[in-house]
Amino acid sequence: MNIKNCKECGKLFQYDGISRLCFKCRKKDDEDFRKVKEFLYENPKETITVVAEETEVSEDKILRYLREGKLEIVGDNPGILLDCESCGKSIRTGRYCDQCAHDIERGLKSGFERQERPRKDLTKNRMYITEMKKNRK
Ligand SMILES: [Zn+2]
Ligand SMILES: [Zn+2]
């Protein structure tokens, strides 16, 4: 038997080789994900701050969904922006832009390499996030 600590609540659970979350947290995570997805479907232009407030799902979690490729930014939402972890280009989902993902796959680039990144487009979004963090208890 394979017992692990749940990444979310720290409780021991039987690991099934798929998720590092216990059954309870996994269910909660699925529910959160559905809430965010539904909210974004109805309100595709909202900023991540609003999405987090309305769905009561933390911004970190929403960003994680995006990074994991579970969630995709619909249309041209200026409120939610992800940047390619390699070149900083705006992307809709995942961790890298198509070009970098391709390069990394071919071994041309290390996934951890960071270059000078253009920041202009992201400033607004980052500000929202920082403000939100400041307001947390
Ligand atoms: Zn748990
Ligand atoms: Zn890139």
Residue 112: band (very low, low, confident or very high) from pLDDT cuts 50, 70, 90: low
Q: Write down the pLDDT at residue 110.
A: 62
Cβ-Cβ contacts under 8 Å for 24 (sequence gap 6 or more) = 9
Give SS3 for 3: strand
Residue ranges per domain, the chain? 25-75, 81-122
Ligand that lies nearest to the alpha carbon of residue 111, given by its number in the listed order:
2
Q: Write down the pLDDT at residue 48.
A: 87
Distance from the alpha carbon of residue 100 to the mean position of ligand 2, in angstroms: 4
Q: Please, what is the average pLDDT of the chain?
A: 80
pLDDT in tens, 45-77: 888 899 999 999 999 999 889 888 888 876 666
Ligand that lies nearest to the alpha carbon of residue 23, given by its number in the listed order:
1
The answer to whether 39 and 54 have CB atoms below 8 angstroms apart is yes
Across 111-123, average pLDDT? 48
The answer to whether 96 and 86 have CB atoms below 8 angstroms apart is yes
pLDDT in tens, 2-14: 899 999 899 999 9
Q: When comparing pLDDT for 83 and 111, which is higher?
A: 83
Ligand that lies nearest to the alpha carbon of residue 20, given by its number in the listed order:
1
Q: How far is CA 96 from CA 82, 85, 101, in A?
A: 9, 6, 5
Q: Write down the pLDDT at residue 119.
A: 46
Distance from the alpha carbon of residue 92 to the mean position of ligand 2, in angstroms: 12
